Amino acid sequence: MNESEIRQNKITKQWVIYAPARRKRPKDFEKPEHEKVPVPLYDKECPFCPGNDHMITSIITEIKEGEDSWKIRVIPNKFPAVIPKNNIRRYNKGIYLAMGGYGHHEVVIETPYHNQEIAQMSLKEVELIIEVYHKRYRELIKEDGNMMVIIFRNHGLRAGTSLIHPHSQIISTGMVPGYIRWREEMALHYFDEWGRCVYCEVLAYEIKDKRRVIYENDLFVAFVPFAAEVPFEILIMPKMHKANFGDISDNEKSSFALALKNILERLRRKLNDPDYNYTINTSVRYRAEEPQLHWHLLIRPRLTTQAGFEIGSGIHINPSIPEEDARFLKHE
C-alpha cells in the first residue's frame, strides 16, 4: 500500500485511516534501550514480592508450591476503583444520574519473581495464569450485583502500569458501559441481518486469507485485524464459537495459554519488549448463551500517541500497515 486508505472494521463498523507517508520501519517501533531499566529478581520494597505480605491487605486465593511458597496469588487492589460494599442503586444528582461505586477490583500476581514476564515463563506457568483468570471470572460473574467482569493487563509505563512486578487486574461492575453495549449491539445487528456470527465470519476469512495471521494452533488463531487501529494490534480468537470466557474447557485453556505465550514472546523479541495493554473481551451477564457474541483477547501495543484529529473524530490514524505488521511478527 503506497497511498492513504481508509478501512472499516467489519465487527464494529469503525473506520481507520492508514497513512503510509507516516510509515516507520518495524524496527523503528522498538522500545529504545535507554527506556529499559534492569529489573531485579526480588525487590524488598515491592508489595507483590514474597516475604512482603505485611504490605498487602489480604489474599483472595493462591496456588501454593510447598508449605511456605506460592506460584500465583490474587489479592484485593489496595487502591480500588470500585468496592463491593457500595450500593448498586441508581440515584439522581440534580438532572444527572449516579450510582455507588460498586464492584470488585482484584490484582493477579502472576509470579513470585519480580522480573519474570509472561513472555519469559514456561507454558505451565502461563496455563496457571489462565486457570486463575477463569476461576476468578466464574466466581465474580455469578455474584448478584456484578453485570460485567473485565480481565486486563497493563505492561509498561505507557500502558498505565504503576508496579513493575508482573501482574494483571480484574474489575467487576454493577453496570454495563455504553461502549460494550454498543459493541454487542453491532454484533446483534449483523446476526439479525445475516444469521451468522460476525466474529466467526472474520475468523474464517483470516484463516483462509492468511496474510494477517501470525500464529495458529488447533483451537486458537492470532492475527492483526484488517482495520487495526494501532501498529501491531493483535486479536487472539478461539476457533470454537463461545460468547463467554467462563465456558471454556481445560483443553481451550491450554491452547489459549500457548497462543498468548507465543504472541507475547514475539512482541518481546521483535519489538524489544514494547509497552502494551491486553483485555479479555467477553459477554456481559445474561448474554452468555447468545449466538452473535464471540469472546477474544485484544492486545494493543503502546507505540503511538493519539492526537487532535483522533480525539475529535474518534477515527484512528495508523501509520503501520496490518499485512506488513503481521509479516514482520510472523517471520522467525
In the chain, where are the structural domains located? 5-330
264 φ, ψ (degrees, to nearest 5): -70, -30
Task: Pinpoint the alpha helices (H) of 161-244.
Answer: 178-194, 198-209
What is the average pLDDT across 36-61? 93
49 belongs to an annotated ligand binding site = yes
In tens, the pLDDT along 64-78 reads: 987 779 999 999 999
Contact 282, 245 (CB under 8 A): yes
Whether the CB-CB separation of 239 and 228 falls below 8 Å is answered with no
Q: Is 197 annotated as a binding residue?
A: no
pTM for the model = 0.95
139-191 confidence digits (pLDDT tens): 999 999 999 999 999 999 999 998 999 999 999 999 999 999 999 999 999 99
Q: Please pick, among 104, 134, 155, 167, the residue that the annotation labels catalytic.
A: 167
Taking the domain 5-330, which CATH number applies?
3.30.428.10
241 is catalytic: no
